């Protein structure tokens, strides 16, 4: 299914950071939503700022958000806990169109539905195995997976374990 | 000790005033009674007329307008009348109240996008979408909407109607859902921007014959009010108005609670 761009994407001033702070707040809100919707649609778990530059431009109307604008959008996403930087240089970030807690719950529900409690499964099985191809968390970035599983550990629903160089998790 | 002077006179004066007041009330009561009788007679006639044409008034927007006009020309406002009468007899009051509430909802829901300025055309589209599918829910005229909005005035200066060209063309009438008046200059700028949904200092200078300072001043005020957005990536700074931006009109439906 084709991604549906919001109306703002065709609205030229959307790509100019608005001087009126009230309007800017609405603008950033629309950008946050656009970034999250776009990543959800394309199953992007890790956003590379350089590579995703096309998200911040619309060639059809020849407009693009300035670097400062992009930074503001990312700052705003960070403020709302919708992204988390992977590196100090701020080149990549995890995008939380679902936050780790929500992912944890989703994975836990999957595991208990499949009767996988009290068994150990590897990270690979959980994100790339044949059985999970139709699950929303298929292809999930490992650092995000760990964050999700840690939320389950905190409530004693799972335990991350290492065995023979492999990483896995045991659900309770 | 000497008696204080004047007390008696003041007392006397007060008694006289009292008497005058009594007489005045009596006269007023008489006039009032006459008026009440006349009003009663008039009301009965109007009621008869209204109940006779009840269905027509409820269902037919054109007839409804004529009825409203007739009432207006004889100085009666069916919507402002005593609460029970019209709503019991016609449901007319309810009809407009319902529209008014829906107008508020649509304006609130769209104001983050359009800064509280919406064309009558878009408002009506959204209202029709939001109302039930039944025929009589669908048939609301621009006149009905404007009437309903005018009723909102009693709640304060929050809603106003801005006519851009003095015509009845729906896209030329704007509903403003934020307090405060639009000045004549603001209206001129909106008028100039309407067709393309944007304008610039240069464009305004040539259409309105204003100088740079005046153009910029008004444009900046519209920015400040959140009605306009600025685009700095065109050769000249342009000022855009989401209220006129066409793709927005067909944008995803705004879900409103169903009418009662």
pLDDT in tens, B228-237: 999 999 889 9
Any CB–CB contact under 8 A between B115 and chain A? yes
Residue B253 lies in a domain: no
> Which of B115, B234, B247 is opposite residue A10, by nearest beta carbon?
B247
Residue among B205, B202, B211 at smallest CA distance from B237: B202
Give the domain extent around B190: 183-247
Q: CA-to-CA distance for A80 and B14, rounded, in angstroms?
A: 72
- Which residue ranges of chain A lie beneath pLDDT 50? none
> Which of A10, A16, A29 is opposite residue B231, by nearest beta carbon?
A16
Q: How confident is the model at residue B2 (pLDDT cuts 50, 70, 90)?
A: low
C-alpha B169, offset from chain centre: 17
Nearest Cα of chain B lies from the Cα of A27 at a distance, in angstroms, of 9
A85 & A54 share domain: yes
Residue B48 or residue B74, greater confidence: B48
B72 & B169 share domain: yes
Q: Among all residues of chain B, which has the CA nearest to that of A30?
A: B113
Number of domain units in chain B: 3
Residue A1 lies in a domain: no
Give the domain extent around A66: 7-95
B169 & B95 share domain: yes
Residue among B196, B200, B205, B212 at smallest CA distance from B246: B196
pLDDT in tens, B12-68: 888 888 888 888 888 888 888 888 888 788 777 877 777 777 777 777 778 878 877
CA atoms within 13 A on the CB side of B106: 29
Residue B256 lies in a domain: no
Cα radius of gyration rounded to whole Å, chain B: 27
Residue A21 lies in a domain: yes
Residue B108 or residue B181, greater confidence: B108
pLDDT in tens, A44-67: 888 888 888 889 999 999 999 999
pLDDT in tens, B208-250: 888 888 999 999 999 988 889 999 998 899 999 998 887 655 5
pLDDT in tens, B87-106: 555 556 677 777 888 888 88
């Amino acid at each position: 299914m084709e991604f549906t761009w919001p109306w703002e994407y065709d609205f030229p001033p959307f790509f100019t950071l608005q001087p009126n702070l009230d309007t800017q707040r609405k603008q950033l809100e629309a950008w946050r939503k656009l970034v999250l919707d776009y990543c959800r649609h394309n199953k992007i778990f890790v956003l590379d700022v350089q590579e995703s530059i096309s998200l911040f431009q619309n060639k059809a109307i020849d407009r693009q958000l300035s670097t400062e604008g992009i930074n503001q959008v990312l700052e705003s996403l960070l403020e709302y806990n919708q992204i988390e930087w992977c590196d100090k240089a701020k080149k990549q970030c995890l995008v939380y169109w679902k936050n780790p807690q929500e992912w944890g719950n989703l994975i836990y529900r999957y595991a208990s539905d499949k009767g996988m409690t009290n068994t150990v499964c590897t990270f690979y099985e959980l994100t790339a195995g044949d059985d999970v191809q139709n699950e929303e968390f298929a292809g999930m970035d490992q650092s995000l997976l760990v964050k999700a599983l840690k939320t389950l550990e905190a409530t004693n629903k799972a335990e991350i374990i290492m065995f023979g160089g492999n990483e896995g998790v045991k659900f309770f | 000790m000497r008696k204080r002077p004047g007390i008696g006179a003041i007392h006397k004066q007060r008694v006289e005033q009292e008497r005058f007041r009594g007489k005045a009330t009596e006269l007023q009561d008489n006039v009032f009674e006459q008026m009440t009788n006349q009003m009663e007679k008039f009301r009965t006639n109007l009621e008869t007329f209204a109940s006779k044409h009840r269905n027509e008034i409820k269902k037919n927007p054109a007839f409804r307008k004529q009825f409203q006009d007739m009432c207006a020309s004889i100085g009666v406002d069916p919507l402002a009348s005593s609460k029970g009468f019209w709503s019991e007899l016609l449901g007319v009051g309810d009809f407009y109240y319902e529209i008014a509430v829906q107008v508020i909802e649509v304006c609130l829901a769209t104001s983050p996008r359009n800064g509280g300025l919406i064309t009558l055309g878009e408002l009506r589209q959204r209202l029709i979408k939001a109302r039930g599918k039944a025929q009589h829910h669908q048939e609301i005229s621009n006149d009905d909407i404007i009437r309903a909005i005018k009723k909102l005035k009693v709640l304060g200066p929050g809603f106003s109607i801005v006519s851009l060209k003095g015509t009845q063309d729906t896209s030329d009438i704007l509903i403003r859902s934020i307090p405060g008046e639009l000045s004549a200059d603001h209206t001129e700028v909106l008028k100039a921007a309407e067709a393309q949904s944007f304008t610039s200092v240069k464009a305004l200078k040539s259409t309105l014959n204003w100088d740079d300072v005046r153009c910029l001043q008004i444009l900046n005020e519209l920015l400040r009010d959140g009605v306009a957005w600025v685009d700095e990536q065109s050769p000249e700074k342009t000022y855009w108005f989401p209220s006129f931006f066409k793709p927005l009109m067909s944008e995803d439906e705004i879900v409103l609670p169903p009418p009662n």
